[in-house]
Structure 1
Amino acid sequence: MMNKLYAQLLLLCFPFFLNAQGIDVPVTAKSKINFSGMLQTQFNYSLDDDIDITGRHHTGTERFSHNSFSVKRARIQINAAITDRINAVMLVNFGDFTGNPQNKVLENAYIKYSINDYVNFQFGQFRPQFGQEDNYPVDFVRSIDYSNQYYLFGANSWQSFQIGASYFGEIKNSTVPIKYSIGIFNGNNRNQITDNDDGKIVPARLVFGLGKGTLLGLSGGAGRNMGQKIWAYGADVDYKKQLNEKWNVEFVSEFKQGVNSVAYFEQTDPVIPISRYVMRGVYVQPNVGYSFKNVRLKNLEFAVRYEYLDADFKLAGNSRQSYIPMVSASFAEAYAVRVQLGFMMDRYERNIPNTTQYDANRIICQVQARF
Structure 2
Amino acid sequence: MSDLLRLKIIIFIFLMPFLSTAQTSTPEAAAKDEDGVQYPQYKFKGLLQVRHLESFGDNVDAMGTHHSGTDFTQSTFDIKRMRVGLNTKLSEATEVVVLVNLADFKSDTKGKVLENAYGKYTFNKYIALTGGQFRPAFGLEELVAVDIIKSFDFSNQYYEFGKNGWTSFQIGAAAGGAVDIGKLPISYFFSAVNGNGKNQAMDKDNGRQYSGRLVFGLSKKHKINLGLNGGMGKVFDEKVFAIGADITSDFKITDQLAFDLQIEYKLGTNHNLYFSLPADTRVRGLDDYLMRGIYFLPNFRYVVNYKKLTALEISCRYETFDANYKVDPNVKQTYTPMVSLEFGHAYTGRIEAGFQIDRFDKNIPNTAFYNNEVFLIQLQLRL
1:42 maps to which residue? Answer: 51
Distance change (3 Å), C-alpha of 1:31 and 1:282: same
1:178 maps to which residue? Answer: 186
Distance change (3 Å), C-alpha of 1:52 and 1:28: farther
Query: 8 Å contact 1:18–1:24 — kept in the other structure?
Result: no
Aligned counterpart for 2:9 among listed residues 5, 8, 11: 11
Which stretch shows the higher mean deviation, 21-30 or 195-204? 21-30
Instruction: State the shift of 1:295 in Å.
Output: 2.5
Deviations along 1:164-194, one digit per CA (max 9) or x if unpaired, are 0001001257411100011100111110011
CA distance in 2, matches of 1:96, 1:216: 35
How many aligned positions are there?
368
2:271 maps to which residue? Answer: 261
Are 2:295 and 1:283 aligned? yes
Instruction: State the shift of 1:353 in Å.
Output: 0.9
Distance change (3 Å), C-alpha of 1:202 and 1:294: same
Instruction: State the shift of 1:49 in Å.
Output: 3.5
Are 2:356 and 1:344 aligned? yes
1:52 maps to which residue? Answer: 61
Which secondary structure state, in structure 2, belongs to the residue aligned with residue 115 of structure 1?
strand
Aligned counterpart for 1:221 among listed residues 208, 212, 231: 231
> What is the one-letter code of the residue matched to 1:219?
N
Instruction: State the shift of 1:297 in Å.
Output: 0.5
Query: 8 Å contact 1:15–1:25 — kept in the other structure?
Result: no
Aligned counterpart for 2:131 among listed residues 111, 115, 123: 123
1:75 maps to which residue? Answer: 83
CA distance in 2, matches of 1:133, 1:303: 16
2:376 maps to which residue? Answer: 364
Query: 8 Å contact 1:202–1:222 — kept in the other structure?
Result: yes
Gaps of 5+ in 2: 32-38
CA distance in 1, matches of 2:207, 2:149: 32
Deviations along 1:201-227, one digit per CA (max 9) or x if unpaired, are 001000000013210000000000111
Aligned counterpart for 2:92 among listed residues 84, 93, 96: 84
CA distance in 1, matches of 2:207, 2:365: 37
Instruction: State the shift of 1:40 in Å.
Output: 0.5
Aligned counterpart for 1:106 among listed residues 101, 104, 114: 114
Which secondary structure state, in structure 2, belongs to the residue aligned with residue 299 of structure 1?
strand
CA distance in 2, matches of 1:22, 1:175: 46
> What is the one-letter code of the residue matched to 2:142?
D
Instruction: State the shift of 1:12 in Å.
Output: 3.4
CA distance in 1, matches of 2:256, 2:16: 46
Instruction: State the shift of 1:228 in Å.
Output: 1.0
Query: 8 Å contact 2:135–2:169 — kept in the other structure?
Result: yes
> What is the one-letter code of the residue matched to 2:215?
V
Deviations along 1:90-133, one digit per CA (max 9) or x if unpaired, are 00000111122110100000000001000110000000000000
1:195 maps to which residue? Answer: 203
CA distance in 1, matches of 2:85, 2:69: 43
Gaps of 5+ in 1: none
Distance change (3 Å), C-alpha of 1:275 and 1:90: same
2:35 maps to which residue? Answer: none
Paired residues for 1:205-220 under 5 Å = 205-211=213-219, 212-220=222-230
Distance change (3 Å), C-alpha of 1:124 and 1:6: farther
What is the TM-score with the length of structure 2 in the denominator?
A: 0.92
- Aligned residues: CA RMSD: 1.8
Deviations along 1:223-270, one digit per CA (max 9) or x if unpaired, are 001111100000001011122210000000000000000110111114
Deviations along 1:295-352, one digit per CA (max 9) or x if unpaired, are 3100000000100000000001211001111100001100010000011110000111
CA distance in 2, matches of 1:15, 1:119: 30
Deviations along 1:106-161, one digit per CA (max 9) or x if unpaired, are 00000000010001100000000000001111000100100011000011010000
Which secondary structure state, in structure 2, belongs to the residue aligned with residue 35 of structure 1?
strand
Deviations along 1:268-290, one digit per CA (max 9) or x if unpaired, are 11462110100000000100000
Distance change (3 Å), C-alpha of 1:172 and 1:338: farther
Which secondary structure state, in structure 2, belongs to the residue aligned with residue 10 of structure 1?
helix
Which secondary structure state, in structure 1, belongs to the residue aligned with residue 374 of structure 2?
strand
The percent of aligned pairs where both chains have the same amino acid is 39
2:166 maps to which residue? Answer: 158
Which secondary structure state, in structure 2, belongs to the residue aligned with residue 145 of structure 1?
coil
2:41 maps to which residue? Answer: 32
Paired residues for 1:222-237 under 5 Å = 222-237=232-247
1:252 maps to which residue? Answer: 262
Instruction: State the shift of 1:20 in Å.
Output: 8.6
CA distance in 2, matches of 1:249, 1:23: 43
> What is the one-letter code of the residue matched to 1:249?
F
CA distance in 2, matches of 1:115, 1:14: 32
Distance change (3 Å), C-alpha of 1:337 and 1:215: same
Distance change (3 Å), C-alpha of 1:320 and 1:174: same
